[in-house]
Chains A and B, each alone.
Chain A
Amino acid sequence: MSDATVSRPRNASRNHRSYAAFIGHRLSGVALAVFLPFHFLALGLALEGRAALDGFLAYAENPLVKFGEFGLVILLGLHLFFGIRLLVVELLPWRGDDDDRAGIIGWGVALAVALGLVFLWGVI
């Protein structure tokens, strides 16, 4: 059977875990890049004195902010583990023709969520 006659579902190239991991890695990276300058500005408040930094930390006790931080910890974990998978796929020898190390994706999601929950457990 030639390739031209093979019937493939629409968007088959995107309908798998590796594509979801690719999207997750990219979107988490963009979110972290947007967050970083604000994180640095907040820490920079220490230059204005302990009261300024304490004022921000008091604001950060707001449950909505804590929930946002919970999300950021998960995004950081996802970006880390999906990034490690990319390095493994790109730099280590493949064990077969389609060795996309998909197993790391599931473990990465589980570990990222676990990190988020451990963080959340400590602040509620």
Chain B
Amino acid sequence: MTEARLFALQRLSAMVLAPLVLVHVVVIIYATRSGLSADALLERTTSSFLWPLFYGLFVVVAAIHAPIGLRNVLREWTPLPRRGVDGAVAVFALVLLALGLRAVWAVTGGGVP
């Protein structure tokens, strides 16, 4: 992928993430104030089909945004070889995507009933 496309993808993913982060912070504050337990958490996240959609989108976009940002930092601030950095952040993107979707599945449908 060209540098210009990565640059654009980083900005576009940021635009999608900004409102998602704001909603997530509100959820964090609400959830911690109302008492954190597995029952309360799972009751909330399984209450609507919108939560899997919301957090699924969150994970996919974060798995795009974070590795591109890390790539920039590693390329500019470390002497690591560029191809090595590219490979490492590609693996990181896949790990983030897999763990993130697994987490969404765990709390919105795949968890113990």
Which of A13-21, A45-53, A99-107 is found at the contact surface with chain B?
Answer: A45-53
Residues A87 and B95 in contact in the complex (CB < 8 Å), given A36-B66, A60-B36, A73-B25: no
Within 8 Å by CB of B14, from A44, A47, A50, A87, lies: A87
Interface contacts (Cβ under 8 Å), in number, total 104
Pairwise interchain contact B18-A80, C-beta atoms closer than 8 A: yes
Which secondary structure characterizes the binding site on chain B?
helix
Residues A50 and B33 in contact in the complex (CB < 8 Å), given A30-B73, A119-B28: no
Choose among A39, A46, A53, A87 the residue with the greatest number of B CB atoms under 10 Å from its CB. Answer: A46
**In the complex, how many residues of chain A place their beta carbon closer than 8 angstroms to a beta carbon of chain B?**
40
Interface string of B63-102 (1 = CB under 8 A from A): 0001101100100000000000000000010011001101
Chain A, Cβ-Cβ closest to B59: A40
Shortest C-beta distance, B7 to chain A (Å), equals: 9
B residues whose Cβ falls under 8 Å from a Cβ of A: 11, 14-15, 18, 21-22, 25, 28-29, 32-33, 36-39, 41-42, 59, 62, 66-67, 69-70, 73, 92, 95-96, 99-100, 102-107, 110-112
Contacts A36-B66, A47-B111, A87-B11 aside, 17 further interface pairs with beta carbons under 8 A come to A29-B69, A33-B70, A40-B103, A43-B103, A43-B106, A49-B111, A49-B112, A50-B111, A51-B38, A57-B37, A60-B36, A84-B18, A86-B14, A90-B11, A91-B11, A122-B32, A123-B32
